[in-house]
A and B are shown apart, each in its own frame.
Chain A
Amino acid sequence: MANEFADTFDITHTLLWDQSFQSWAQLGVSLQPSAKLYGADGELLAEWLGPFDKEDVLELIDGNQVSAAAGADATVERFCRYADRFSRAQSDAGAYPTASDDQRQRILDDLRYAANALAQTAPGELAVLSEQLAAAVRAHSQVLLDADLPPDPSTAGGYDDSAAALDSAIGASIAALNETCDVMLQLHATP
């Protein structure tokens, strides 16, 4: 349905679909259409219920962009926040074998979230490595999910292959993430 919507209205900007409505709830959006305008630094500049005027938006954002150099620094900084997050998710994953069902789900969610965010925010030179890492995390997570998150992950069908692929992707990323973000990923640290 979201794809149909994008085609129908010839949408070219980023279109996100939150089936859960959690984003609406957490941002206090209860009526539609609504809009929120944020500055480059994340400050809320304006919000609207119903239609809004393009000229108002253009006036509000005039001069609100950052320089190319500052933008590049911000890109790396943002990427490194998720590198750090992935590293900490790996540390938390050590509790997987003794965790409850919900906790095991959360451990996988955190790993997948951080890996996907890494791929989403990667600077150009790290894009391929990051996408390979995210793809490996997604594939490995799916193996465990398909087996209903067993406390002993090695009992999941296909575990050996997906775990090896994930370790390979992590191994390929270690040096680059350490150099760029001073974050050290760990081999064999995921369930």
Chain B
Amino acid sequence: MESARYRVNGAMKQLAAFAAIGLMALSACGSGSSAGRPTSSAIDSNSRVSPLPAIEVDDVTADRRVALDAFIPSDRPTLLWFWAPH
């Protein structure tokens, strides 16, 4: 498992130029921010064009809350990598 993790991470760094997004989900690790909450489907404008759910998540690198569905579509491909530290 450890080797797989490092291999994936190494690839992700190489793919950063292609707007790779590491989507990281954690549980029971309290960030102090509220959990992502689905917003009203009636006004879910971007979900008509984005394959990603309209929820807010923490952008760790930018230190702010962001809309997940705003990342796609984009001007370039996007790689989402899902991993949850134990």
A binds B: yes
A contact residues vs B (CB 8 Å cutoff): 1-3, 5-6, 9-24, 26-27, 29, 32-45, 50-54, 57, 60-61, 64-66, 68, 70-71, 74-75, 78, 81-82, 84-85, 88-89, 92, 106, 109-110, 112-114, 116-117, 119-121
Chain B, 29-50, CB within 8 A of any chain A CB: 29-31, 33, 35-40, 43-46, 49-50
A50 / chain B contacts, CB cutoff of 8 Å: 4
Knowing A2-B58, A71-B75, A81-B46, the reply to whether A27 touches B67 (Cβ < 8 A) is: no
Chain B: CB-nearest residue to A88:
B43
Rounded to whole angstroms, the CA-CA distance of A6 and B45 in the bound complex is: 32
Q: Which of A6, A74, A85 contacts B61 (CB 8 A)?
A: A6
CA distance A51 to B52 in the complex (A): 22
User: Among the listed B31, B38, B74, which residue makes an inter-chain contact with A17, where contact means beta carbons less than 8 Å apart?
Assistant: B31
A2 to B18, CA, bound (A): 22
Contact check, B49 vs A16: say whether CB atoms are below 8 A apart. Answer: no
Q: Contact at B31–A19, with CB atoms within 8 Å?
A: yes
A19 touches B21 (CB 8 A): no
Give Cα distance in the complex from A66 to B57, angstroms: 27
Interchain residue pairs with CB less than 8 A apart (18)? A2-B58, A14-B19, A14-B71, A15-B24, A22-B35, A23-B57, A32-B82, A35-B82, A37-B79, A40-B77, A42-B49, A57-B15, A81-B46, A92-B43, A117-B67, A119-B64, A120-B64, A120-B70
Using a CB-CB cutoff of 8 Å, which residues 61-77 of chain B contact chain A?
A: 61-62, 64-68, 70-77
Q: Is the CB of A16 within 8 A of B4?
A: no
- Asked if A36 contacts B16 (CB within 8 A), the reply is no
Report Cα–Cα, A60/B76, bound state, in Å: 12
The smallest C-beta distance from B46 to any residue of chain A, in angstroms, reads 5
Q: Could you say which residues of chain B place their CB within 8 Å of the CB of A112? A: 56, 65
Q: Which of B7, B51, B68 contacts A51 (CB 8 A)?
A: B7
A5 and B51 alpha carbons, distance in the complex (Å):
27
**Is B70 touching A121 in the complex (CB atoms < 8 A)?**
yes
Which chain A residues lie closer than 8 Å to B5 at the CB level?
33
Residue contact B43 to A38, C-beta cutoff 8 Å = no
Contact A17 B26 (CB under 8 A): yes
Partner of A65, one of B46, B77, B79, B85: B77
A78, B64: Cβ atoms under 8 Å? no
Per the bound structure, the CA–CA distance linking A183 and B53 in Å amounts to: 24
If A13-B20, A21-B27, A27-B52 touch, whether A52 touches B11 (CB-CB below 8 Å) is yes
